[in-house]
Amino acid sequence: MFADLLPDGTILQGQRDQYRILGLIGRGGMGAVYRCERMSDGSTWALKEMRPPVEAAPEEIAENRKLFDQESQLLQTLDHPNLPKVIDSFDQAGRPTLVMEFVQGKTLEDKQRETNAPFFQRDVVNWGIQIARVLNYLHTQNPPIIFRDMKPPNVMLTPEGIIKLIDFGVARTYKTNKSKDTVAMGSAGYAPPEQYGKGQTDARADIYALGATLLHMLTNLPPVPLQTPKDGSLIRHNQSVTPEMEQVIIKAMAMDRDKRFQTMASFEQALLAVDRGVIVPDKLDDPTMMPTPAPVFNNPDPSWSNPNSNPAPAWGNQNPNPAPAWGNPNPNPAPAWGAPQQPNYQQPMAQPVPQQSVPSWAPPVQTPAWSPPPQANGPICDQCGRMNKPNARFCAGCGAAIKRAVPKLVITSPRAVWELALTHFPCRIGRRDPAQNHHPEIDLAEHDRGVASRRHAVIEQQGDHHLLIDLGSINGTSINGVPMTAYQPHHLRPGDRIRIGDVEMVFSIE
Ligand SMILES: Nc1ncnc2c1ncn2[C@@H]1O[C@H](COP(=O)(O)OP(=O)(O)OP(=O)(O)O)[C@@H](O)[C@H]1O
């Protein structure tokens, strides 16, 4: 069907460099994507050329050339960690060609095909947050860019869990004063009613399509065209789905676009709230209950955790004891950060069992990965050896008082050394901000020469174990000299040295 694909070894002259074709990666309806080598430095890139099937009609080819050029131009003006960067574009043998970042990984469609089962909510939510974030970036361009073809094959997932949006073939800028799109596009099941040529699509079309994409990932069933899912329909297929998440999808996929999230930012915030377990379904679109944006995964936006820029998350004030940010509303939660599965975690009902995905929040692993605790439950009685429930004060076997180890930190800063018994969790580490009523348990305001973010890191207790999590701080946290990855929990062990700027904290248990 495709005429003469470029053979391996072909060298193409671009505008900025030469490229050697290393092999075909994939073919779409109108193009082909190859892995290539940039000749000047041997680095690997993806080369996409428009290569219509031989039987394509001339008008179709012309229309697709327009779309290809548009994709190329669009991508060159954009810069976002969830978009492949474009480094060159040129024509070869009359074919428009684009050289872009080579994304290692698979499309969500490939992943789903391989797994053939619903994915865990925590993974889908994390993908959804990243997709919403990049779509929000597109929607907030001037003029707004509507992606218009959000669906699993157009989303790639790297082994580190980073999402990259590919295929801008039908993305287009939103033109005010235009009542209708010139071309009706999108993919059945993912496209909202207004995309069936009945009106001009706006950002809310992408909201519907992202809802449909997440629905597909959660249920392993393609979305039914023009059908909002019903209450209970997601949970029926996947027990890891919470009622709150189901409501988010239902809202995103409302037929009436006025009833959907009105912006991608509010969709993202609703997903963040699901992830943090603080969602209030009837306030899904109320920005005042939304947390501040979390960082971009591999390229944090400095503004979000900058000690001088961002206000405290509004939800923090509304709920004095919110579920921890990394928590999960599921009564038997799997850890939201993709740690090894706990034995009591309920898997979705559909068969086969969903795959454990790569750590959802994790850029390339730099910290020692969190290893499963040696015991999932509580302390072992030193009298009779029985394992007890996590919060037991007396042994259920012999009645002896359970001796609890007290974790502590010895904190050394240029100004002081002090010891702190960790008795309250979560134990927040950061800089105080009285204006926001923010007073972390470990306040580094006087000690770190301005390095710590207000919400820098947190120590959380899980049974008898303690997890340190960097909350996307600007300047980072290191553990035993190794920089931590934001949101990737580190299981603290006695002797671990936590460093934030000039402050060092040594963890021990007595
Ligand atoms: N930047 C990239 N890095 C690595 N692989 C990529 C990249 N872009 C695309 N691919 C791979 O190539 C395949 C085809 O890409 P893409 O969907 O962009 O092509 P297309 O011709 O526009 O397809 P369609 O007909 O679906 O619009 C993808 O499914 C993906 O596997």
**CATH of residue 417:** 2.60.200.20
Answer yes or no: do 59 and 120 share one domain: no
Q: Is 107 in the pocket of ligand 1 (CB under 6 A)?
A: yes
| Joined tokens for residue 472 | 């996307």
How far apart CA 492 and CA 204 sit, in angstroms, is: 43
Last residue of a domain, one of 216, 248, 276: 276
Answer yes or no: do 47 and 21 share one domain: yes
pTM above 0.80, yes or no: no
For the chain, 510 residues long, give each residue's pLDDT as a single digit of tens.
Answer: 455 789 999 999 999 999 999 999 988 777 899 999 999 999 999 999 988 777 777 887 887 788 788 778 878 888 898 999 999 999 998 888 999 999 999 999 999 999 999 999 999 999 999 999 999 999 998 888 888 889 999 999 998 889 999 987 655 544 444 433 434 455 778 989 887 765 677 899 999 999 999 999 999 999 999 999 999 999 999 999 999 999 999 999 999 999 999 999 999 999 988 887 744 434 444 333 333 333 333 333 322 233 333 332 322 222 323 333 333 333 333 333 333 333 232 334 333 334 434 333 333 333 333 333 333 356 666 677 666 676 677 777 777 777 767 889 998 888 778 888 887 788 999 988 777 767 788 889 878 778 899 999 999 988 778 999 999 999 999 999 999 999 988 999 989 999 999 899 999 987
Q: Is 300 in the pocket of ligand 1 (CB under 6 A)?
A: no
User: Which residue's alpha carbon is nearest to atom 30 within ligand 1?
Assistant: 26
Structural domain includes residue 390: no
Last residue of a domain, one of 258, 276, 294: 276
Q: Are 411 and 417 in contact (CB under 8 A)?
A: yes
Answer yes or no: do 119 and 241 share one domain: yes
Pocket perturbation via mutation, ligand 1, pick of 25, 61, 85 by most ligand atoms within 8 A of CB: 25
C-alpha dist (Å) from residue 373 to 341, 427, 461, 489: 11, 20, 12, 13
Answer yes or no: do 488 and 446 share one domain: yes
User: Which residue's alpha carbon is nearest to atom 29 within ligand 1?
Assistant: 26
Give the CATH number, domain containing residue 71.
Answer: 3.30.200.20
Q: Is 266 in the pocket of ligand 1 (CB under 6 A)?
A: no
Answer yes or no: do 115 and 250 share one domain: yes
Of 105, 96, 92, 131, the C-alpha closest to 26 is 105
Tell me, what's the pLDDT at 197? 64
CA torsion, ordered 342, 105, 205, 174, to nearest 10 deg: 140
User: Which residue's alpha carbon is nearest to atom 20 within ligand 1?
Assistant: 28
Last residue of a domain, one of 48, 79, 101: 101
Structural domain includes residue 28: yes
Ligand 1 center from residue 26 Cα (angstroms): 6
The count of structural domains within the chain is 3
- Give residue 356's identity as a one-letter amino acid code: Q
| Joined tokens for residue 352 | 């086969």
CB atoms within 10 A of CB 11: 12
What residue numbers does the annotated binding site cover? 48
Structural domain includes residue 3: no
H-run or E-run covering 137: helix 121-139
Non-local (6+) Cβ contacts of 455 within 8 A are: 305, 312, 428, 430, 438, 440, 471, 473
Q: Is 50 in the pocket of ligand 1 (CB under 6 A)?
A: no
3-state SS record for 473-494: CCCCCEECCEECCCCCCEECCC
Ligand 1 center from residue 166 Cα (angstroms): 6
Domain span holding position 164? 106-171+189-276
| Joined tokens for residue 32 | 């082909």
Answer yes or no: do 55 and 94 share one domain: yes
Structural domain includes residue 121: yes
Tell me, what's the pLDDT at 379? 67
Q: Are 202 and 146 in contact (CB under 8 A)?
A: yes
Ligand 1 center from residue 296 Cα (angstroms): 23
Answer yes or no: do 212 and 113 share one domain: yes
Of 211, 200, 136, 209, the C-alpha closest to 172 is 200
Answer yes or no: do 420 and 499 share one domain: yes
CA torsion, ordered 253, 259, 265, 267, to nearest 10 deg: -40
Structural domain includes residue 312: no
Answer yes or no: do 423 and 486 share one domain: yes
Q: Is 397 in the pocket of ligand 1 (CB under 6 A)?
A: no
Q: Is 105 in the pocket of ligand 1 (CB under 6 A)?
A: no
Give the CATH number, domain containing residue 233.
Answer: 1.10.510.10
Ligand 1 center from residue 170 Cα (angstroms): 13
Q: Is 170 in the pocket of ligand 1 (CB under 6 A)?
A: no
What residue numbers does the annotated binding site for ATP cover? 48
Answer yes or no: do 138 and 233 share one domain: yes
Answer yes or no: do 131 and 72 share one domain: no
Q: Is 22 in the pocket of ligand 1 (CB under 6 A)?
A: no
Answer yes or no: do 194 and 84 share one domain: no
Pocket perturbation via mutation, ligand 1, pick of 1, 19, 33 by most ligand atoms within 8 A of CB: 33
Structural domain includes residue 153: yes
How far apart CA 493 and CA 505 sit, in angstroms, is: 12
Non-local (6+) Cβ contacts of 428 within 8 A are: 440, 441, 442, 455, 457, 458
Q: Is 108 in the pocket of ligand 1 (CB under 6 A)?
A: no
Structural domain includes residue 388: no
